[in-house]
Chain A
Amino acid sequence: MKRMIILGAGTAGTMMANHLRHHLNKSEWEIDIIDEREEHHYQPGYLFLPFDMYEPEDITKPIRDFIPGGVNLLNEQIDRIVPQEQYVHMKNGDRLHYDILIIATGAKIAPEETEGMLGKEWQKSVFDFYTFEGSLALRNKLREWEGGKLVVHITEMPIKCPVAPLEFAFLADSYFKHKNLRDKVDITFVTPLSGAFTKPKATNALQHLLDEKHIKIESDFAIESIDNENKTIVDYGGRVVPFDLLVTVPTNKGDELIARSGMGDDLNYVPTHKATLQSKNWPNIFVLGDATDIAASKAGSVAHFEAEILTDNIMHYIAGEPLKEEFDGHANCFVETGNGKALLIDFNYTHEPVEGTFPFPGVGPLRLLKESRINHMGKLAFRWIYWNMLLKGTHIPFVSTTMQEAGKSFD
């Protein structure tokens, strides 16, 4: 009997467990999936929780509900991986031998990386919304906040769901309008990038929305520290931005387990071949989702496309065949723009988001890079798709694994 071990039962790991149990012969392969947590969180929901659009129970379910029969779920803490010996060492002293290892341990916030972020204002006037606890604490703060300077801030790239901070600013504009407080709230978006986004066409579309919603932008801002006394953020060039309420996205890092195993880069991401998803250092280790160092978005849609390609590649690997260099960096993200509207972006390593129609070229019904109500309905419907199709590894109809060029307006 051979053993496949999957580390992490988040979006990526759960999808791999479902795909592989379906593809691998049960009499030949045991599949174990390890995660110390008991609850699976629908992370896109962290964006909606602060604005009372979702309730906590909408976004958390037991991990066990999504792990298929024939896969062992180990609810234990992992100490480290010893790739030279093909062992995973557990905190309780157990050692598990693997033939193939899949790393899907994700990324998380590291507020301790920025001086003053975990100071006395943390969760009083300085909040994150990339954790369940942070998002819930922020909801409670927003319910009673009476206005002032709201600063929405990105510490450094890369971060999970790179459009989420912008969406937060748009939704805040809409939220305060509905509360008749908008004239008492000054919103500033502070980013280390040179503009609203990294890709030129999307940056133009998003900058236009920022202007329309009277959201100021401070770009090229590399934060040095948070001054808790004066309630300001300060950058290395000496620029200072004051806040009454700071909503920050701290530095994101891969899991500490990767550092303990000596397998990561300076942010604990695992060096991974960008087209095959095989580890660069160990042929029998594969990596997907937020845990990799590849230059694709850290997002559930990316993990979904990766999982389909990685499943094929693991089957090739087992059969002793060459791996397919197929992953193209495909990402597909709804961007909430407030007031019941959203836009949609679809892009990959080489093609930036442009205008067009999706998923049917020339038809839609979703519009790329344009605000619409139906895009917003798509984003809301996605929660159902996530729990009922995506995690189970069901192919999403009409959405191809690699990016389609048809239906898009490239220059």
Chain B
Amino acid sequence: MEKVIAGATIHVNEEGYLTDFSQWDKQIGTELAREADIDMTPRHWEVIAYLQGEFKNEVPLSIRKIGKSGVVDIKEFYQLFPMAPLKTASKIAGIPKPVSCI
């Protein structure tokens, strides 16, 4: 479905995740963060940049991997993106919802 945000039209799935990463920019990220009641700081953007890098390298993301990344520890990750940090941060980063293997 289409969504108008920060003056642009983006494509998102039914859960609000961008379906085309090329449509993402920092203004859109800022607005998506605001919808989750998060005010972005430089520290937030560092984590988002790391997630986007891993996505481009096709590395599946997990809380464990992020905790061992050296970019942010799990405690701080929760402080930056409360409740469900990996899902919230992925949505702001414009990358797909992380898949947990079953």
Q: Which of the residues A192, A194, A222, A296 comes within 8 Å of B101, measured between beta carbons?
A: A296
Cβ-defined contact, A295 with B64, below 8 A: no
B64, B77, B85: most-surrounded residue (chain A CB, <10 A): B64
Which B residues between 65 and 102 are near A, CB-CB below 8 angstroms?
65, 68, 74-75, 77-78, 82-85, 87, 99-102
- Least Cβ–Cβ distance between A224 and chain B, in angstroms: 7
Cβ-defined contact, A194 with B99, below 8 A: no
Is A58 part of the binding interface, using a Cβ–Cβ cutoff of 8 Å? no
Cβ-defined contact, B64 with A198, below 8 A: no
Cα distance A237–B87 in the bound complex, in angstroms: 14
Is A156 part of the binding interface, using a Cβ–Cβ cutoff of 8 Å? yes
Cα distance A331–B102 in the bound complex, in angstroms: 10
Cβ-defined contact, A266 with B102, below 8 A: no
- Least Cβ–Cβ distance between B48 and chain A, in angstroms: 19
Cβ-defined contact, A197 with B64, below 8 A: no
Contacts of B85 in A (CB 8 A): 237
Is B63 part of the binding interface, using a Cβ–Cβ cutoff of 8 Å? yes
Contacts of B84 in A (CB 8 A): 194, 220
Is A236 part of the binding interface, using a Cβ–Cβ cutoff of 8 Å? yes
Given A236-B74, A236-B75, A237-B83, answer yes or no on A222-B63 (Cβ-Cβ < 8 Å).
Answer: yes
Cβ-defined contact, B102 with A199, below 8 A: yes
Cβ-defined contact, A158 with B82, below 8 A: no
A162, A237, A331: most-surrounded residue (chain B CB, <10 A): A237
- Least Cβ–Cβ distance between B37 and chain A, in angstroms: 14
Cβ-defined contact, B101 with A193, below 8 A: no
Cβ-defined contact, A156 with B87, below 8 A: no
Contacts of B60 in A (CB 8 A): 295
Contacts of A197 in B (CB 8 A): 102
Q: Mark B30-57, 1 if CB is under 8 A from A, else 0.
A: 0000000000000000000000000000
Chain B, residue nearest A191 (CB): B100
Given A156-B64, A158-B100, A295-B99, answer yes or no on A222-B87 (Cβ-Cβ < 8 Å).
Answer: no
Contacts of A156 in B (CB 8 A): 62-64
Cβ-defined contact, A157 with B78, below 8 A: no
Q: Which of the residues A194, A224, A295, A331 comes within 8 Å of B74, measured between beta carbons?
A: A224
Contacts of B77 in A (CB 8 A): 236
Contacts of A222 in B (CB 8 A): 63, 74, 78
- Least Cβ–Cβ distance between A277 and chain B, in angstroms: 16
Given A222-B74, A236-B75, A297-B102, answer yes or no on A266-B65 (Cβ-Cβ < 8 Å).
Answer: yes
Chain B, residue nearest A220 (CB): B84
Cα distance A158–B99 in the bound complex, in angstroms: 11
Cα distance A232–B102 in the bound complex, in angstroms: 27
Chain B, residue nearest A265 (CB): B65
Contacts of A220 in B (CB 8 A): 83-84, 87
Q: Mark A246-267, 1 if CB is under 8 A from B, else 0.
A: 0000000000000000000011
Chain B, residue nearest A163 (CB): B102
- Least Cβ–Cβ distance between B66 and chain A, in angstroms: 11
Cα distance A364–B85 in the bound complex, in angstroms: 42
Cα distance A331–B84 in the bound complex, in angstroms: 28
B65, B101, B102: most-surrounded residue (chain A CB, <10 A): B102
Cβ-defined contact, A162 with B102, below 8 A: yes
Cβ-defined contact, B78 with A193, below 8 A: no
Cβ-defined contact, B78 with A198, below 8 A: no
Chain B, residue nearest A333 (CB): B102
A-B contacts, 28 of them at CB < 8 A, read: A156-B62, A156-B63, A157-B62, A157-B102, A158-B100, A158-B101, A192-B63, A193-B100, A194-B84, A194-B87, A198-B99, A198-B100, A198-B101, A220-B83, A224-B74, A224-B75, A236-B75, A236-B77, A236-B78, A237-B78, A237-B85, A238-B78, A267-B64, A295-B60, A295-B101, A296-B101, A297-B101, A297-B102
Binding site for A on B (CB under 8 A): 60, 62-65, 68, 74-75, 77-78, 82-85, 87, 99-102
For the A-B complex with A236-B77, A236-B78, A296-B101 known, give 20 more contacts whose Cβ atoms are closer than 8 Å.
A156-B62, A156-B63, A157-B62, A158-B102, A192-B100, A194-B87, A198-B99, A198-B100, A198-B101, A220-B83, A220-B87, A222-B74, A222-B78, A224-B75, A237-B83, A237-B85, A266-B64, A266-B65, A266-B68, A295-B60
**A-B residue pairs, 4 tightest by C-beta:** A220-B84, A157-B100, A158-B101, A295-B101
